């Protein structure tokens, strides 16, 4: 292969065809991210000019986020199940590895990215109302937020361990700066420093794990890792040299450290409360929602990617070439060549095996490959279950003693990370046994992410508005607030009850969905004759934790509604009837009213889970 | 003209709509808010009575086809609309003889409790909003027959209740409120686990279920799908049944020792393998046809629990335990009753009335509607535990009531004691081999329990109201510091005597028939428990009479604020008189209540008695001896497989002698 071929194949891979950008090209799939990039650049560029100083960056950031959501188009891609004909349409979203397999574009990416962009829109409006970035700071903050969002999008779509690392770093580095955005506040600087030191450590450990795994398996491309593992384990666990097995397990553990850091899973959560206390409530909202959603999506990508043989998808430009047979210059690029390029460029050793497996004729070989990956899945599921149990329990217990609302919500975030990891364990355990059930489990997680987005954003919005009103973030200072601003207190109470997971609030829908996936997983795994007790244990732990969490959420509600107002509270400058109040109601409405009709959400979540498992 | 959809939805959600309306009223016009709230509760009562009880020829025909038909055993006024199709969750409301009396009771107690709420002067607007939301939750629990919907309503009550106790309660209100919340939440989390287990093990496309689909009130589309898939599965199911019979035969042979040990072990192994393959084949057919069709429909789950093998004995046992704990907390029985005295003592009077009058009934309702019909295996295996818990609650509650110094706490413990009768009555599974599977006595126990729930709703809500009246005047509840109220508040004391005697179970008042039926039915089950439960009546008489003596009789009042002991006013007299009126009415004519529940309860106990005969205590016929008890699926349940599909009439269960 000469250089010219290489370049022309790269062009085809990026644009879909040699002459134009097709709807099924890598670039088209990546368009929302490109929009975010353009927005970031625009904000930096406008600032260079004197006139630009007067431009309000809020509008640019808002327009950019809306445009990104528009191009992500969840309303187009998260519909009913596609027929084979519909899936063959170039604009349809099934599974497509883009940019030579570095990223993967499927309905799950569409769903989580859309959630991230929706969050970005709501977040930008929220910062405007809370006034934390003043005119001078706003380009910095919005640039960092959108930059981190870009990194999170990459986390959601990562298909290669190097991309995993890059994406995690790209999401983390702006977050470090965001944590310290209030210049001159000791606490903020401390938070930023702690965050970055922890982050750097975790990143290093993860990179080490990646190098171990990639070194043993000669690849870092996640679907190829699954194939190689399947090949290795095809003779049973005992056929693998024990040293190799140990290095693989160690690699997986080290990678999980990096993921656990992003998820703030116990015992890698220590940064979380300190950072949340030091950073502003706005930044907390961003970290606790967007960062967490992306980390969960990444967990799904890595855990499922390594434990499941990836379903066959299309290559960029393939469908366009089929539907436009006469289109120029598409004939020389058949699919396996694109794949060839990628594998040759990266790992010549496994190229033959991978190409053979990617070929559709190798379909019958998939089933035994799935079977031989069973030990990988079992290991992953138990590892995640273990993290979920301690994270959830510790988060809830530690939240009990907090007096600062931001610390309390930090521990609540940790606990929720634990809840959200539970369905992932069930999904990994179910894959290969009951694929439809596994897809429902992913859908459950997707539902949880959607409802959690509104609940946590709302909670931090209340904290920010109250901070502006009374310069305090101590729970004790909230005493008797119901007498001053009843509507806000009602909102906050609804959100907190939602976080407990009480019906009829939307938190219950999320909890119901993930508990359902656990029961489903337990039943399926037991029916297949494998030990599924740990899934039942997860369910019981989840249930008991729900009851434990009641105490501390309810304490905040109690302080606000039942307690008397303190005599020495800072003066309260706040009105329920304001833009801020309206925004709060806007955010609370989905939490309070979703129960009336949430089938559409469930269907979208089902659609999101469709292309993950064969 | 009304349809059931509109009527039932209105009955459930009218209070919530009222709450929304109240939210937009100015908060300083307290009297208007109270009047509107009372108006809403009256409207709900009017809808229940006017829509469901007044005969068509009297109502002018506006409730045509809606009047509750006491001759019908199945559910009526069915509303079944798709809600969340991706989880097969329906908006499924209906009434039958078990739920209808409780709906009426709820509307009745809410109306009187709201009338008693004029004494609440703090944050009236918030109080009324929460009160109305609470009413929506309570009625919703009784009318919803979709498990998910039921659970949502069940939890909806928690939030208003927490605030109603926590904001308007007594000195230890926060402690009491969170204790109530925590206990109930823990119970409902266990319930959620059981609900999900039942959901994922259920499958309405089971060929065994086809003959029983009529009783499930599935939506027509779902039913059509279920029937089609069941027909597809039938050939595969025949193979499964044959394999199962073969396995049972092989095991029998092994036991009889007709063949050598090695040979029969081999045979069993082969049969087991064949069975597994057959089950896997059927599962493959199911999946191919778009199944399995899980369901949250409570009626379908009942049929599945009684007529198919989907819920194994272990699953039923665990689900029964989980659900029973959840409901027992609400009843409450010992040892999970400790929230009740605190909640009652701290709650304001009207909320105590609702708590005792309605909320406790939800536990009993759950046990009779969900625990026994869905998980009969668990109910059968644990019948001694259930009855034991019931009797222990009765005795413990009565002794605890005797020891109380606080008037309200004494009434609260009397609730524990009285609700013990309910648990006992529901649990007396006397339809066993020794009675010839005669469901008569169990039927009597369940009816007694249901009657006791209604009667307790009247007498105990009345007692809390009466305690509240005197507490409003003298601001203490110390039993030892009362006395002589007869002289100062004569009319009030007369009411109190009547209602307290009703709680005591005096013949001619509403407390008597329920207790009598329960104790009678227990005699067939266990004479020891019958004697114990009958003896509790003496203890009840002890604490009630002693309280009456210390509070109302005696020469003079011994406590503080003597000058505040003014005679009861018109509003208080009216409420008390209504309570007393119904206490006497239902005591003299228990049939007024029983007529509504007769058919439904007859049917339910008869079905469970047949189930006992067919599955649990299968008579030695041929080789199938006691297989059910060893976990081997019973041949009886396997026999009628798909007969309905083939047009063969289902074998009619043999009527046990003396059932009528």
- A516, B193: Cβ pair inside 8 Å? no
- Is residue B421 predicted with pLDDT exceeding 50? yes
- B173, A562: Cβ pair inside 8 Å? yes
Per-residue pLDDT, averaged over B335-364, amounts to 90
A585 in contact with B, Cβ within 8 Å: no
Type and span of the H or E element at A155 = helix A138-157
So where are chain A's domains?
378-614
Mean pLDDT, chain A, as a whole number? 86
- Is residue B624 predicted with pLDDT exceeding 70? no
Chain B CB contacts of A503 under 8 Å are 151-152, 155-156
| Span of A157-166, B35-44, B186-195, B235-244 with lowest mean pLDDT | B235-244
Question: Where does the pLDDT of residue B643 fall: very low under 50, low under 70, confident under 90, or very high at 90 and above?
Answer: very low
Q: For the purposes of burial, counting CB atoms within 10 Å of the CB of A243, is it exposed (0-12), middle (13-18) or buried (19 or more)?
A: exposed
The tokens describing A143, both together, are 């640039």
The answer to whether A222 and A302 have CB atoms below 8 angstroms apart is yes
Note the pLDDT tens digit of each residue in B569-578: 888 889 899 9
Per-residue pLDDT, averaged over A408-423, amounts to 93
Contacts 24+ apart (CB under 8 A), B215-219: B215/B74, B215/B299, B215/B302, B215/B303, B216/B297, B216/B299, B216/B300, B216/B303, B217/B75, B217/B78, B217/B80, B217/B92, B217/B94, B217/B145, B217/B297, B217/B299, B218/B80, B218/B295, B218/B297, B218/B300, B219/B80, B219/B81, B219/B82, B219/B90
- B181, A558: Cβ pair inside 8 Å? no
A543 in contact with B, Cβ within 8 Å: yes
Percentage of the residues of chain A whose pLDDT score is greater than 70? 93
What is B295-325 written as a DSSP string? --BHHHHHHHHHHSSSS-HHHHHHHHHHHHH
Q: Can you give A496-522 as a three-state secondary structure string? A: HHHHHCCCCCHHHHHHHHHHHHHHHHH
SS3 B348: coil
Percentage of the residues of chain A whose pLDDT score is greater than 90? 46
> Chain B residues with CB-CB distance to A under 8 A?
83-87, 148, 151-152, 155-156, 158-159, 162-163, 166-167, 173-174, 178, 181-182, 185-186, 189-190, 192-193, 196-197, 199-201, 287
Measured distance CA(B144)–CA(B256) in Å, rounded: 51
> What pLDDT was estimated at residue A476?
87
The number of beta carbons lying within 10 Å of the beta carbon of residue A118 is 19
Question: Which letter does DSSP use for residue A566 in this model?
Answer: P
> What pLDDT was estimated at residue A469?
87
The answer to whether A179 and A144 have CB atoms below 8 angstroms apart is no
The tokens describing B21, both together, are 């309306």
Note the pLDDT tens digit of each residue in B149-196: 999 999 998 889 999 998 888 888 888 888 999 899 999 999 999 999
> What pLDDT was estimated at residue A232?
86
- Is residue B431 predicted with pLDDT exceeding 80? no
Chain B CB contacts of A497 under 8 Å are 159
The answer to whether B296 and B91 have CB atoms below 8 angstroms apart is no
CA-based R_g, chain A, Å:
24
Q: Could you check whether the bond before residue B341 is cis, i.e. omega within 30 degrees of 0?
A: no
> What pLDDT was estimated at residue B16?
92
The answer to whether B81 and B607 have CB atoms below 8 angstroms apart is no
The tokens describing B586, both together, are 């239902």
The answer to whether A347 and A218 have CB atoms below 8 angstroms apart is yes
Mutate to test the interface with B, among A518, A550, A564, A597 (most CBs of B within 10 A): A550
Compare all CA atoms of chain A with the CA of B167 and give the residue at the minimum distance.
A562
Chain B CB contacts of A603 under 8 Å are 86
Chain B CB contacts of A447 under 8 Å are none
Contacts 24+ apart (CB under 8 A), A529-533: A530/A378, A530/A433, A532/A429
Note the pLDDT tens digit of each residue in B494-545: 899 999 999 988 888 888 998 888 888 888 888 888 888 888 989 999 999 9
Chain B CB contacts of A595 under 8 Å are 152
The answer to whether A522 and A609 have CB atoms below 8 angstroms apart is no
Residues 6+ away with beta carbon under 8 Å from A514? A419, A420, A422, A423, A441, A444, A445, A448, A542
First to last CA, chain A: 33
Q: For the purposes of burial, counting CB atoms within 10 Å of the CB of B354, is it exposed (0-12), middle (13-18) or buried (19 or more)?
A: buried
| pLDDT higher at B523 or B106 | B106
| Span of A286-295, B280-289, B370-379 with lowest mean pLDDT | B280-289
Chain A CB contacts of B83 under 8 Å are 597, 599
The answer to whether A12 and A317 have CB atoms below 8 angstroms apart is yes
SS3 A181: coil
| Span of A235-239, A554-558, B175-179, B448-452 with lowest mean pLDDT | A235-239
Compare all CA atoms of chain B with the CA of A600 and give the residue at the minimum distance.
B84
A508 in contact with B, Cβ within 8 Å: yes
Per-residue pLDDT, averaged over A376-389, amounts to 92
Which residue in B85, B185, B200 is closest to A519 by CB distance?
B200
- Is residue B474 predicted with pLDDT exceeding 60? yes
Per-residue pLDDT, averaged over A30-53, amounts to 89
Alpha carbon separation from B189 to A448, A548, B368 (Å, rounded):
18, 11, 20
The tokens describing B141, both together, are 């629990």
Measured distance CA(A318)–CA(A330) in Å, rounded: 9
- Is residue A67 predicted with pLDDT exceeding 70? yes
- Is residue A445 predicted with pLDDT exceeding 60? yes
What is A330-363 written as a DSSP string? -TT--HHHHHHHHHHHH-TTTHHHHHHHHSGGGG
The answer to whether B376 and B484 have CB atoms below 8 angstroms apart is no
CA distance B632 to chain A (A): 17
Measured distance CA(A255)–CA(A269) in Å, rounded: 16
| Span of A51-55, B22-26, B226-230, B500-504 with lowest mean pLDDT | A51-55
The answer to whether B403 and B544 have CB atoms below 8 angstroms apart is no
Chain B CB contacts of A540 under 8 Å are 193
First to last CA, chain B: 40
Alpha carbon separation from A344 to A149, A197, A336 (Å, rounded):
32, 37, 11
Quote the distance between the C-alpha of residue A277 and its chain's center.
23
Mean pLDDT, chain B, as a whole number? 85
Name the residue among A554, A234, A247 with its Cα closest to residue A399: A554
Question: Which letter does DSSP use for residue A609 in this model?
Answer: T
Question: Where does the pLDDT of residue A444 fall: very low under 50, low under 70, confident under 90, or very high at 90 and above?
Answer: very high
- Is residue A146 predicted with pLDDT exceeding 80? yes
Note the pLDDT tens digit of each residue in A98-141: 888 899 999 999 999 999 999 999 999 999 888 887 777 788 88
- Is residue B253 predicted with pLDDT exceeding 60? yes
> What pLDDT was estimated at residue A364?
55
E-strand stretches of A379-491: none
- B152, A558: Cβ pair inside 8 Å? no
- A551, B178: Cβ pair inside 8 Å? yes
Give the angle subtended at the CA of B433 by the CAs of B428 and B437, to the nearest 5°: 65
Measured distance CA(A125)–CA(B211) in Å, rounded: 59
> What pLDDT was estimated at residue B552?
85
Which residue in A516, A544, A562 is closest to B166 by CB distance?
A562
- A550, B182: Cβ pair inside 8 Å? yes
Chain B CB contacts of A502 under 8 Å are 155, 158-159, 185
- B199, A516: Cβ pair inside 8 Å? yes
Output phi, psi for A406, to 5 deg.
-70, -35
- Is residue B648 predicted with pLDDT exceeding 60? no
The number of beta carbons lying within 10 Å of the beta carbon of residue B593 is 24
> What pLDDT was estimated at residue B622?
40
Per-residue pLDDT, averaged over B29-38, amounts to 89
CA distance A539 to chain B (A): 8
> What pLDDT was estimated at residue B636?
43
- B182, A502: Cβ pair inside 8 Å? no
Q: With a CB-CB cutoff of 8 Å, which residues 482-501 of chain A face chain B?
A: 497
């Amino acid at each position: 292969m000469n250089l010219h071929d290489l370049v022309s194949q790269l062009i085809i891979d990026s644009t879909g065809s040699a002459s134009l950008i097709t709807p099924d090209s890598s670039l088209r799939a990546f368009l929302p991210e490109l929009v975010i990039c353009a927005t970031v650049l625009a904000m930096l560029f406008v600032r260079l000019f004197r006139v630009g100083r007067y431009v309000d960056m809020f509008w640019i950031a808002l327009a950019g986020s809306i445009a990104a959501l528009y191009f992500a188009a969840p309303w187009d891609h998260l519909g009913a199940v596609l027929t084979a004909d519909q899936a063959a349409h170039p604009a349809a979203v099934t599974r497509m590895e883009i940019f030579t397999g570095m990223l993967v574009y499927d309905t799950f990416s569409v769903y989580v990215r859309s959630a991230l962009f929706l969050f970005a829109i709501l977040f930008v409006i929220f910062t405007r109302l809370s006034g934390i970035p003043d005119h001078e700071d706003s380009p910095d903050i919005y640039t960092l937020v959108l930059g981190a969002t870009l990194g999170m999008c990459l986390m959601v779509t990562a298909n290669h361990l190097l991309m995993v690392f890059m994406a995690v770093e790209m999401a983390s580095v702006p977050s470090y700066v965001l944590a310290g955005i209030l210049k001159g506040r000791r606490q903020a600087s401390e938070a930023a420093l702690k965050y970055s030191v922890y982050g750097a450590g975790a990143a290093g450990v993860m990179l080490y794990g990646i190098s171990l795994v990639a070194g043993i398996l000669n690849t870092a491309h996640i679907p190829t890792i699954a194939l190689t593992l399947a090949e290795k384990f095809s003779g049973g666990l005992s056929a693998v040299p024990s040293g190799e097995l140990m290095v693989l397990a160690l690699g997986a553990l080290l990678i999980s450290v990096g993921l656990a850091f992003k998820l703030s899973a116990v015992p890698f959560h220590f940064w979380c409360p300190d950072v949340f206390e030091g950073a502003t409530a706005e930044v907390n909202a961003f970290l606790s929602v967007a960062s967490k959603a992306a980390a969960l999506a990444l967990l799904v990508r890595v855990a499922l990617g390594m434990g499941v043989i990836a379903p066959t998808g299309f290559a960029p430009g393939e469908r366009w070439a089929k539907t436009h047979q006469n289109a120029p210059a598409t004939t020389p690029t058949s699919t396996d060549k694109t794949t060839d390029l990628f594998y040759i460029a990266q790992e010549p050793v496994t190229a033959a095996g991978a190409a053979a497996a990617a070929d559709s004729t190798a379909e019958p070989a998939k089933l035994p490959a799935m079977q031989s990956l069973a030990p990988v899945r079992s290991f992953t599921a138990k590892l995640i279950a273990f993290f979920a149990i301690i994270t959830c329990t510790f988060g809830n217990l530690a939240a009990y003693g907090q007096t600062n609302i931001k610390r309390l919500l930090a521990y609540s975030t940790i606990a929720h990370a634990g809840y959200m990891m539970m369905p992932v364990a069930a999904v990994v355990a179910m894959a290969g046994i009951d694929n439809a059930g596994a897809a429902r489990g992913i859908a459950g997680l997707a539902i949880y992410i959607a409802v959690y987005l509104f609940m946590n954003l709302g909670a931090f919005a209340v904290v920010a508005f109250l901070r502006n009103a009374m310069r305090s973030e101590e729970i004790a200072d909230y005493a008797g607030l119901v007498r001053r601003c009843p509507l806000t207190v009602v909102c906050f109470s609804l959100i907190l009850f939602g976080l407990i997971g009480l019906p009829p609030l939307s938190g219950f829908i999320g909890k119901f969905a993930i508990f359902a996936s656990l029961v489903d997983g337990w039943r399926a795994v037991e029916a297949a004759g494998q030990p599924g007790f740990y899934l039942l244990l997860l369910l019981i732990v989840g249930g008991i934790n729900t009851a434990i969490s009641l105490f501390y959420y309810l304490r905040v509600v109690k302080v606000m509604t039942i307690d008397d107002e303190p005599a020495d509270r800072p003066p309260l400058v706040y009105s329920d009837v304001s833009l801020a109040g309206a925004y709060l109601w806007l955010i609370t409405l989905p939490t309070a009213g979703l129960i009336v009709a949430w089938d559409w959400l469930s269907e979208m979540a089902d659609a999101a889970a469709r292309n993950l498992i064969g | 003209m009304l349809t059931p959809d509109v009527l039932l939805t209105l009955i459930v959600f009218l209070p919530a709509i009222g709450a929304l309306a109240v939210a937009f009223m100015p908060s300083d016009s307290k009297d208007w808010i109270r009047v509107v709230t009372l108006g809403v509760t009256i409207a709900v009562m009017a809808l229940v009575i006017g829509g469901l009880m007044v005969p068509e020829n009297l109502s002018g025909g506006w409730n045509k086809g809606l009047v509750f038909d006491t001759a019908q055993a199945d559910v009526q006024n069915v509303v079944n609309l798709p809600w969340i199709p991706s989880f097969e969750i329906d908006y499924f409301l209906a009434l039958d003889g078990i739920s209808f009396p409780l709906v009426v009771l709820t509307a009745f107690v809410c109306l009187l409790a709201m009338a008693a709420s004029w004494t609440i002067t703090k944050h009236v607007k918030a109080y009324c909003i929460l009160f109305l939301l609470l009413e929506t939750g309570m009625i919703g629990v009784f009318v919803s027959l979709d498990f998910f919907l039921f659970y949502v309503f069940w939890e909806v009550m928690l939030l208003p209740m927490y605030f109603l106790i926590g904001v308007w309660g007594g000195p230890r209100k926060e402690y009491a409120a969170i204790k109530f919340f925590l206990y109930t939440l823990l119970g409902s989390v266990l319930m959620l686990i059981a609900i999900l287990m039942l959901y994922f093990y259920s499958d309405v496309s089971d060929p065994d279920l086809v003959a029983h689909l009529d009783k499930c009130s599935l939506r027509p589309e779902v039913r059509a799908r279920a029937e089609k898939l069941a027909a597809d599965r039938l050939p595969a199911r025949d193979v499964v049944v044959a394999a199962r019979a073969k396995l049972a035969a092989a095991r029998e042979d092994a036991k009889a020792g007709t063949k050598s040990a090695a040979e029969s072990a081999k045979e069993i192994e082969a049969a087991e393998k064949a069975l597994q393959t057959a089950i896997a084949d059927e599962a493959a057919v199911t999946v191919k046809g778009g199944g399995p069709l899980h369901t949250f429909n409570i009626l379908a789950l009942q049929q599945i629990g009684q007529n198919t093998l989907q819920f194994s004995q272990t699953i039923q046992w665990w689900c029964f335990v989980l659900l029973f704990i959840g409901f027992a907390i609400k009843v409450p029985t010992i040892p999970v009753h400790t929230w009740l005295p605190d909640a009652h003592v701290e709650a304001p009077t009207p909320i105590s009335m609702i708590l005792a009058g309605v909320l406790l009934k939800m536990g009993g309702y759950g046990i009779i509607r969900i625990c026994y019909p869905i998980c009969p295996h668990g109910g059968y295996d644990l019948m001694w535990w259930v009855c034991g818990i019931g009797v222990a609650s009765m005795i413990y509650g009565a002794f605890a009531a005797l020891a109380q110094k606080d008037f309200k706490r004494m009434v609260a413990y009397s609730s524990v004691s009285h609700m013990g009768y309910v648990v006992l009555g529901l649990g007396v599974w006397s339809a066993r081999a020794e009675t010839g599977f005669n469901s008569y006595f169990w039927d009597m126990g369940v009816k007694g329990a249901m009657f006791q729930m209604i009667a307790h709703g009247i007498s105990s809500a009345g007692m809390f109201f009466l305690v509240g009246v005197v507490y409003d005047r003298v601001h203490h509840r110390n039993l030892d510091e009362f006395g002589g109220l007869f002289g100062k508040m004569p009319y009030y004391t007369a009411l109190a005597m009547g209602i307290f005697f009703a709680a005591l179970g005096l013949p001619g008042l509403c407390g008597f028939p329920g207790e009598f039926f329960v104790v009678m039915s227990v005699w067939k089950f266990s004479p020891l428990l019958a004697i114990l439960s009958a003896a509790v009546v003496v203890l009840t008489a002890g604490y009630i009479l002693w309280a009456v003596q210390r509070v109302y009789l005696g020469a003079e009042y011994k406590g503080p604020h003597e000058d505040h002991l003014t005679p009861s006013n018109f509003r208080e007299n009216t409420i008390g008189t209504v309570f007393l009126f119904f206490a006497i009415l239902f005591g003299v004519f228990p049939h007024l209540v029983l007529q509504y529940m007769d058919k439904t309860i007859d049917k339910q106990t008869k079905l469970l008695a047949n189930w006992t005969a067919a599955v649990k205590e299968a008579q030695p016929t041929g080789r199938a001896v006691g297989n059910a008890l060893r976990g081997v699926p019973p041949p009886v349940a396997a026999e009628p497989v798909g007969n309905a599909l083939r047009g063969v009439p289902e074998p009619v269960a043999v009527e046990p002698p003396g059932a009528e």
